[in-house]
Chain A
Amino acid sequence: MHVLLVEDDRALADHITSGLREAGHIAEHCGDGREGLIRATCETFDAIILDRMLPSLDGLKLLAALRATDNATPVLILSALGDVEQRVQGLRAGGDDYMTKPFAMSELLARVECLGRRSGHITESSSSLRVGDLEIDLVAHTVTRAGARMELTLRELRIVAYLARNAGRVVTRSMLLENVWDYNFDPQTNIIDQHISKLRQKIAGEGRSQLIHTVRGVGYVMRDA
């Protein structure tokens, strides 16, 4: 992926660009808002990582200007401003995802990769998802494995669907929390792990292969094999 990072903190920017490069992406950096806007409009990127408080042009104004030119490049806002209202503000301004500083690099990578895919070719509107022999019918709300129907709660169905939509990509616990539960909150313990372990038992029971894999220290990935 070709990623543009607009961030004025030099040390942090170095850390992010090297993290992105290590993960196999092409990362470009720019430390100024106005220059960032020029590069974002003139060049084509798969995703943009955008700080909010920038010299010469505020991050949200940059985003608004970018969206005003019908540029739909996925933007992840990375900011120290982490209030619920500030998140909402960022997403309303046209951001596709919002992350609060300080963050874990693995979390940022997972989110950027999911964002890049969002702009890709897979249509979100498809009514069914398939990973290996697992099939999810989003209309009938049913999940089958090799033709056999599984009894899942609606919440478990949402977890499976989110993992399947991002099949092959790492999904972090907070990404699951934000996308599967309808509340913006911060649980103190890793409750998500308990949900996943219950779900795994249902999906991989009776000697079937495991589809949900743990990525140590990061989250989960759904993959056949």
Chain B
Amino acid sequence: MKRLLRSFSFRLAILYTALFSTLTCLLTGAGMWVFGGTLLLGLSGGWLMSRAIGGRLEVIVHAARSVMNGDLSGRVPVRGGGDDFDRLNETLNLMLSRIEAQFDTARRLSDNAAHELRAPLARLVGRLEALEQETRGNPAMRIAVDEAIAQANRLRRIVAALLRISRLEGGRQILNVQRSDVVQMLEDAVEFYQPEAERAGIALSLHVRRPLIADLDLDLVFQALSNLLDNALKYAGAGACVTVTASREADVLRIAVSDNGPGLPADETDRATEQFFRGSAATENTGEGLGLSMVAAITQAHGAAIALTPNEPGLRAEMRFPAGMTPPAAGHGGGGVDVERAGERAGPGM
């Protein structure tokens, strides 16, 4: 009986040992699985999470960029789940709305101010002109009145230019874009300024190759070109050369006015397109400081850019019109016609 009991307990011990080892083995395996699974879950979850967060941050960055680039109406989309991101986005949107409203107010204010100035200015000029009639017999008085009229006219030009710039910048001027012969426009501009260049002792010339066709608002681009030529002739100095060039490279149309005059100090180049900025070379009679801001507004309205770079010596002002403004070159056989003219020439038609 005692033997039987011993053998039983021995078997039991073996069984137990076997059971225990199997269990340990099983448990170790399961532990490995659990660990692996958790690791995998954790990693993939983290990756998914960071992707989701990254995506939502990307949306915010995108909206901020579009606002930075001038589209003040850009907003961050709100999902409506009420989570932390939504709260953040709602706050950001509120901030953007406020910025937009303030921008609008500032723009409207300067626009309205300029607009409201017109009527009293018209009356002022009127009264001064009436006064001029009455002071015919008094030369000293008449000179004073003439000076007042000249200043009122200057004010009138400033107001007109400000309104024009403000309309262009606010995108409220509809561009009259037409397929245009750029060379013809450049010839007309150079011809227009040729007598003034001769008077100032400056050699004005045009270097361009036909054909050069682009989709532009001709009146506006002519205005920009006129302002650039005006500046060049004012500041280049007697004996200088002013050159107008235009070319199309990789669908970018470049129109440049370069001179070999004294140029612009580096610290003034960046600020030159600011409204009312007048460089150190400006004098009482050189202008209102709006010419280059007008050029900047006109190019911007065309989706183009203006670049002022040293010409060593002198200044090079280049307008760069992006692809899309320029249609694919018309099928012209062989090389174009070189146009290189200075001096006498006339435009078309009577």
Contact = CB atoms under 8 A, between A and B. Distances in A.
B125 A189 contact: no
A208 interface: no
A102 B287 contact: no
Interface string A160-185: 01000000000000000000011111
A154 B348 contact: yes
Contact of A101 (B119, B291, B344): B119
Contacts of A100: 160
B85 interface: no
A138 B149 CA distance: 39
B86 interface: no
Contacts, number: 120
Interface in B146-161: 146, 149, 153, 156-157, 160-161
B145 to A, nearest CB: 11
A161 B350 contact: yes
A187 B226 contact: yes
A102 B222 contact: no
A82 B160 contact: yes
A20 to B, nearest CB: 12
A101 B118 contact: yes
A188 B156 contact: no
Contacts of B125: 102-105
Contacts of B149: 104, 217
Nearest to A9: B119
A185 B220 CA distance: 7
Contacts of B196: 189, 191, 194
Q: How big is the B interface, by class?
A: 35 or more
B179 interface: no
Contacts of A161: 350
Nearest to A136: B350
Contacts of A153: 191, 344-346
A181 B129 CA distance: 29
A85 B177 CA distance: 13
A84 B176 contact: yes
Given A83-B167, A191-B196, A197-B195, A185 B129 contact: no
Given A101-B119, A102-B156, A194-B196, A182 B291 contact: no
Interface stretch (A11-19, A38-46, A65-73): A11-19
A10 B322 CA distance: 50
B160 A22 contact: no
A217 B115 CA distance: 26
A191 B192 contact: yes
Contacts of A22: 133
Nearest to A14: B126
Given A22-B133, A83-B167, A184-B219, A102 B121 contact: yes
Interface in B211-225: 218-219, 222-223
A181 B188 contact: yes
A113 interface: no
A195 B195 contact: yes
B277 interface: no
B269 to A, nearest CB: 20
Contacts of A183: 185, 188, 218-219, 222-223
Contact of B350 (A84, A158, A184, A195): A158
A182 B346 contact: no
Contacts of A102: 118-119, 121-125, 156
A215 interface: no
B116 to A, nearest CB: 10
Closest A-B pairs by Cβ, 3 of them? A154-B346, A102-B122, A194-B195
Interface of A: 9, 11-12, 15-16, 18-19, 22, 80, 82-85, 100-106, 138, 141, 153-158, 161, 181-189, 191, 194-195, 197-198, 217
22 contacts: A12-B123, A15-B129, A80-B115, A101-B118, A102-B118, A103-B122, A104-B125, A105-B125, A138-B350, A154-B350, A155-B347, A157-B346, A158-B349, A158-B350, A183-B218, A183-B222, A185-B219, A185-B222, A185-B226, A187-B192, A189-B196, A191-B192
